[in-house]
A and B are shown apart, each in its own frame.
Chain A
């Protein structure tokens, strides 16, 4: 169950996507997401989806993993889909009691579903192909100008990288504790929602205890190494844009722009 959470997971590799600068990937992703939400119509979405499929193929990440990343949002997708189908006013196709299905409803629902799926799939692809370290590095550099406005960008980036770093650890820990409590006869899969919520107490208490202990230890270890924020910090690996970034960026912008333009024209 918890193994389905792929957020923040990174699969090392040597594909062009892996070699890209994290800043380039982040910018492309932002542009892509804008495109998904601005687009309209079948052909533009087909272009967006095809573009993503091509990039997935290029990354050599198994499509199965991408599908897996979509699993946690299945519920949201169904929920928004149903709501949109039922509550969009327009040309009526079918009605029963207070429910009615409209042509516009089906259209909006499909659009929303495609948007959510593309959004989640493209974001997962970014974290699958970018190590958490590279990702936060990229983010810190991209947001660097905000430092002039006294936004603690470095601190945010550090917090984010620690959080990302500990997601797998916490998942592993949760699984271990769940196993240990199952071995003592705890039952997480039966009963109504209240019983299930109550059954989680034996997991959550030890989990919080150990999370706080870990946080304490980490803070102590950082202080022992004289960590004092980002002031004057130099880097071993500095980010540099390369040819992959140039071509990747140009191609992605071209595809997204084409999709947007088509949906304006049609």
Chain B
């Protein structure tokens, strides 16, 4: 099994039950198996309450599975306390609305919190803080400000830099663009991509938006009611657009247009999910018709 060695993160038959034994018992994740290879850029999508946030909190050991295992580089992260703590640093987790976790007096100190907990030396912390603040577009002058006097979008950047600066092997982001305006979304999108290119980190991001998933991810995992419904390249996933719609999920607008074209009898391939692909296909069709 040669390809297994490149799996940074593996989840085996993972289930998670909240409040077992009470009237509020809830199976949020149900027998999920999944693995992420080094450098992959994965989008995790699913309906509200499908268990995305619950699943990702197992990756760095914040939640312990009710059953199943979580492996980082082949090692079970729950085998010892040390391994669980190591998992915190190997997998960086950006929570939904991460700006609500800011607490330090200055932006610099807040971004340095993670690296400091890792026990890095001062120079290394300084390098990481400055470098990652630059990636998220925070100017030098912002570093000495209080995070509480920044705007919402800027706070989000500080929070992102805080995890970026830990330089984890796998970075997991829970709806990193939630609640931002289109420009803010595009920015965050760019920061994540820039970070990915620079460090070759495995990235997994949770989103509600098929558009973002289609634009960013090399691989898309779809969750439904605690289970994985689909897992594959965007082509593979969106070629099952009809199923996605039936599962109550959205598909990119172009895909929807093409589904409609097909329904009306045009011989199109409904696996398209970007404007470029759509344009290319239409052009090809037009060319064919002329001939």
Contact = CB atoms under 8 A, between A and B. Distances in A.
B101 interface: yes
Interface stretch (B27-35, B87-95, B188-196): B87-95
A206 B162 CA distance: 15
Contacts of A183: 60, 62, 88, 92-95, 163
B22 interface: yes
A3 B89 CA distance: 26
Contact of A184 (B21, B22, B114): B114
Contact of A202 (B21, B95, B113, B148): B113
Contact of B21 (A62, A181, A203): A62
| Interface size classification for chain A | 20 to 34
Nearest to A204: B103
A201 B101 CA distance: 11
24 contacts: A3-B19, A176-B95, A176-B100, A179-B57, A179-B62, A179-B95, A180-B95, A182-B88, A183-B60, A183-B93, A183-B94, A184-B101, A184-B117, A184-B163, A184-B166, A185-B118, A185-B166, A186-B117, A202-B101, A202-B103, A202-B113, A203-B103, A209-B100, A210-B100
B88 A185 contact: yes
Interface string B74-94: 000000000001001100111
Given A179-B95, A184-B162, A11 B23 contact: yes
Binding site secondary structure of chain A:
helix
A177 interface: yes
B51 interface: no
Interface string B53-81: 00001001010000000000000000000
A185 B114 contact: yes
A266 B88 CA distance: 62
B73 to A, nearest CB: 19
Nearest to A186: B117
B102 interface: yes
Contacts of B92: 183
A176 to B, nearest CB: 7
A47 B22 CA distance: 28
A64 interface: yes
Interface string A138-182: 000000000000000000000000000000000000001101111
Contacts of B21: 62, 64
Interface in B96-122: 98, 100-103, 113-114, 117-118
A64 B19 CA distance: 12
A92 interface: no
- In order of increasing CB-CB distance, the 3 nearest A-B pairs are A185-B117, A205-B103, A184-B114
Contacts of B163: 183-184
A215 to B, nearest CB: 15
A245 B135 CA distance: 66
A187 interface: yes
A182 B64 CA distance: 14
A50 B23 CA distance: 25
A65 B19 CA distance: 11
B74 to A, nearest CB: 22
Nearest to A184: B114
Interface in B184-215: none
A206 B113 contact: no
Contacts of B162: 184
Contact of B101 (A65, A185, A206): A206
B95 to A, nearest CB: 5
A205 B88 CA distance: 22
Interface in B147-185: 148, 162-163, 166
Nearest to B159: A180
A28 to B, nearest CB: 24
A3 B20 CA distance: 12
A205 B100 CA distance: 10
A201 B103 contact: yes
Nearest to B172: A183
Give the residue among B85, B117, B118 with the most A Cβ atoms within 10 A.
Answer: B117
B102 to A, nearest CB: 7
Contacts of A206: 100-103
Contacts of B94: 183
B182 to A, nearest CB: 25
Given A64-B21, A183-B94, A202-B103, 13 more contacts: A177-B100, A180-B95, A181-B101, A181-B113, A184-B113, A185-B88, A185-B118, A187-B85, A201-B103, A202-B101, A202-B113, A205-B103, A210-B100
